[in-house]
């Protein structure tokens, strides 16, 4: 693992479409979920918007929602040991100002390059859907997705988190409204086709069964973000009697180690 040092000039992939970004910025500004009532979130909001590369990056909305959930569920963010797996984000850059923050450099299918029972918080933002199987040992493992890579990752997360420590995880929702619509259209149901595997809420809870879920919500972070864009299909679902609960395209899950 590698220590995260605050670097305001850090480069992230940013939006090319200014109109698209303006719409998303307005969603955050309108603060539908009242995150700005939290002082730590306010500090993060200011931190992000002082850096033009942070507040225009492609995952801007998801980072703001993730931060809002994390800061609303935990009271004190000082002198904690924090690990972000799979690289680092503006969220851990911000947390590094008052905490000991690190990010991984290892192959997450095999191990997490971090000590046991060490971290108060592990951040896993849009990582788990990229984890492939380990190298196959036989033909069955070669031709099937066994999930041995992601299962090892879950065990490793459990290993590095302290007792009563937390994991905050975001990943695309395989049960999202968008995935269902694409299936009806005879299209692949992925939020992003390049992902190895997208997961349901139940699958995630089963993978991290050594943790207790303390918060869950699905947000519209990638598709159909604005209410009016999904309203026609919502009305059709209501007529059919299909459940609309937890149909956002992105899971945000906060879990506590038992």
Rounded to whole angstroms, what are the CA distances from 5 to 55, 63, 83, 103?
A: 19, 19, 13, 10
Average pLDDT of the residues of the chain: 92
Tokens coding 145: 């997705």
* Of 64, 62, 102, 63, nearest in space to 80 by CA: 102
Taken in order of first residue, the domains within the chain and their CATH numbers are 2-257 (3.40.50.150)
Which tens digit of pLDDT belongs to each residue from 20-61? 788 888 999 999 999 999 999 999 999 998 887 776 788 899
Please list, in sequence order, all residues whose beta carbon lies within 8 angstroms of the beta carbon of residue 181, skipping any fewer than 6 positions away: 233
* Of 65, 57, 36, 46, nearest in space to 225 by CA: 65
Q: Is the pTM of this model over 0.85?
A: yes
Tokens coding 78: 């000082």
Which tens digit of pLDDT belongs to each residue from 164-204? 999 999 999 999 999 999 999 999 999 999 999 999 999 99
Encode 64-81: b = buried (16+ Cβ within 10 Å), e = exposed.
bbbbbbbbbebeebeebb
> Between 231 and 15, whose confidence is greater?
231
pLDDT score of 243: 92
pLDDT score of 28: 93
pLDDT score of 8: 54
Separation between Cα atoms, residue 211 and residue 208, nearest integer Å: 6
- The percent of residues above 70 in pLDDT, for the chain, comes to 95
Which tens digit of pLDDT belongs to each residue from 47-105? 998 887 776 788 899 999 999 999 999 989 999 999 999 989 999 999 999 999 999 99
Find the farthest-apart pair of alpha carbons in the chain and give their distance in angstroms, rounded: 55
């Amino acid at each position: 693992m590698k220590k995260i040092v605050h670097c305001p000039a850090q480069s992230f992939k940013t939006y090319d479409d200014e109109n698209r970004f303006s719409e998303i910025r307005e969603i955050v500004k309108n603060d539908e979920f009242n995150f700005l009532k939290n002082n730590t979130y306010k500090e993060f909001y200011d931190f992000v918007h002082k850096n033009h590369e942070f507040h225009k990056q492609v995952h801007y909305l998801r980072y703001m929602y993730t931060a809002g959930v994390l800061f609303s569920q935990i009271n004190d963010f000082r002198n904690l040991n924090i690990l972000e797996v799979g690289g680092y984000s503006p969220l851990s850059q911000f947390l590094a100002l008052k905490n000991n923050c690190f990010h991984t450099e290892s192959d997450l299918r095999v191990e997490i390059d971090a000590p046991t029972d060490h971290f108060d918080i592990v951040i896993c933002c849009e990582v788990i859907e990229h984890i492939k199987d380990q190298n196959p040992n036989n033909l069955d493992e070669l031709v099937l997705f066994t999930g041995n890579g992601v299962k090892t990752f879950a065990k490793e997360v459990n290993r590095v988190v302290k007792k009563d420590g937390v994991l905050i995880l975001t990943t695309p929702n395989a049960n999202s409204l968008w995935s269902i619509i694409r299936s009806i259209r005879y299209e692949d149901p992925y939020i992003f086709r390049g992902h190895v595997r997208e997961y349901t809420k139940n699958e995630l809870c089963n993978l991290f069964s050594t943790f207790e879920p303390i918060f869950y919500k699905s947000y519209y972070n990638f598709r159909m973000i604005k209410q009016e864009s999904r309203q026609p299909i919502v009305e059709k679902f209501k007529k059919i009697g299909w459940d609309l609960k937890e149909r956002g395209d992105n899971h945000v899950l906060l879990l506590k180690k038992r």
